[in-house]
Structure 1
């Protein structure tokens, strides 16, 4: 099922039970533009969340996660969460909810050897891979798959069978992202695999904080406290895994968010400066020119 608008849970007569019952029967895709939306408490199926413009906020496991263009989040089956789009900025969201039996079949296919699939082609629907609820980078192969899916949806090309084909390959990419975490964790400076895995998990928490609290006055002590890593360990291991320091990573997050606001809103530069966590307009302009080679207003004139 395909929707181009988000449901209004607060609308008079909205049947929440009927709405969520559809998620057990179909793969469901939302490709919607909205300036406001919220769902305070939902327990859903395996799902993929990203935005093509703007920001969408999720509450997962008592953590606040901001999804911005170029990032995505995977939520597990039966995962409780909340989601919000703040009033004011037009946001285009893309969410895919995978029916449990469909996801189970794709995961079974992706994780088994071909010879095993010949002997056991049909999955146990109760077995679903557990994904880590952290923000991931949206790499080019997955971007291409999503573009193909959107094109097929907008042109009604091939019907439901064609859409399911796209979803199979998208799920394979999500499984690859999950498996790549084990590869990235090898860059953690630790001997025991279990220690590396735990350190990597905490580093991902630190990275999520940078993406989701960029507008605040973040310091290393705050990031250290949330991720349960000492400041020296945080800096050392963050650099080893992500090839940059937390401070530099935060600066990149802030300037990318500022560039998006410049391109897609008419908000004044001084507002963007405060909302993206810069101390003053001068420091914002210096950081922006270092990243993009031009002053902020030049980018806005170019996009006008």
Structure 2
């Protein structure tokens, strides 16, 4: 529709082409997500998808703290059980694991880009306990937070038996 409107109004269509192609690719990705949502009608599937997107964006915007499943359930007006099952089937990751992954990615960015102490990075990433932060960081990245910072934020080479290589 934007493409037709641009042509009808006489605006240079070539200037809009990259933006429109990007939007079209995003819509294709979302259309597959809508199809994977539960519901009998397309309207219901879109409604569920919109609520799941709201929950995902809320998690991404709150990577500095632990987000409880109850908060997401209240935000989406779904039960905790329905939210968890639908989120898992749609994004192939539970809300809790997405939250933990986002918090650890935030911590890695802070370690790479700031000179905050490790305990401050842990607190800024929503970890109450430095030991649990250290354990989670090592499990995710295969090295300690201080080792990550010493290497300039680069990860060690992946070996066949490393925990980082076995994921993804």
Deviations 1:151-174 (A, max 9, x none): xxxxxxxxxx9xx96863243112
- Contact 2:38/2:48, CA 8 A, preserved across alignment: no
| Partner residue, 2:88 | 239
Which one has the bigger helix percentage? Answer: 2
Shift in Å, 1:206: 0.6
- Contact 2:63/2:102, CA 8 A, preserved across alignment: yes
Deviations 1:57-83 (A, max 9, x none): xxxxxxxxxxxxxxxxxxxxxxxxxxx
Normalised by the length of structure 1, the TM-score is 0.46
| Partner residue, 1:251 | 100
Shift in Å, 1:259: 0.4
**CA-atom RMSD, angstroms?**
2.5
Matches of 1:168 and 1:231 in 2, distance apart?
42
Give the secondary-structure state (helix, strand or coil) at the position aligned to 1:186.
Answer: helix
List, as ranges, runs of 4+ consecutive aligned residues in structure 1 with deviation greater than 4 Å. 164-167
- Contact 2:69/2:80, CA 8 A, preserved across alignment: yes
Matches of 2:6 and 2:69 in 1, distance apart?
50
| Partner residue, 1:108 | 3
Choose from 195, 199, 206 the match for 2:55.
206
Matches of 2:7 and 2:31 in 1, distance apart?
27
Shift in Å, 1:178: 2.6
Choose from 123, 130, 136 the match for 2:8.
123
| Partner residue, 2:137 | 288
Matches of 2:106 and 2:15 in 1, distance apart?
30
- Contact 1:215/1:275, CA 8 A, preserved across alignment: yes
Normalised by the length of structure 2, the TM-score is 0.81
Give the secondary-structure state (helix, strand or coil) at the position aligned to 1:229.
Answer: coil
Shift in Å, 1:276: 0.8
Deviations 1:259-301 (A, max 9, x none): 0110111111111111111121111111111111111111111
Q: Give unmatched runs, 5+ long, in structure 1.
A: 1-103, 110-119, 126-160
| Partner residue, 1:228 | 77
1:166 to 1:243, Cα distance in 2 relative to 1, 3 A = farther
Structure 1 residue 215 and structure 2 residue 64: aligned?
yes
Choose from 264, 269, 274 the match for 2:113.
264
Give the number of aligned pairs: 152
Choose from 12, 22, 37 the match for 1:188.
37
1:275 to 1:167, Cα distance in 2 relative to 1, 3 A = farther
1:230 to 1:123, Cα distance in 2 relative to 1, 3 A = farther
- Contact 2:111/2:149, CA 8 A, preserved across alignment: yes
1:292 to 1:166, Cα distance in 2 relative to 1, 3 A = farther
Matches of 1:223 and 1:253 in 2, distance apart?
16
Give the secondary-structure state (helix, strand or coil) at the position aligned to 2:64.
Answer: coil
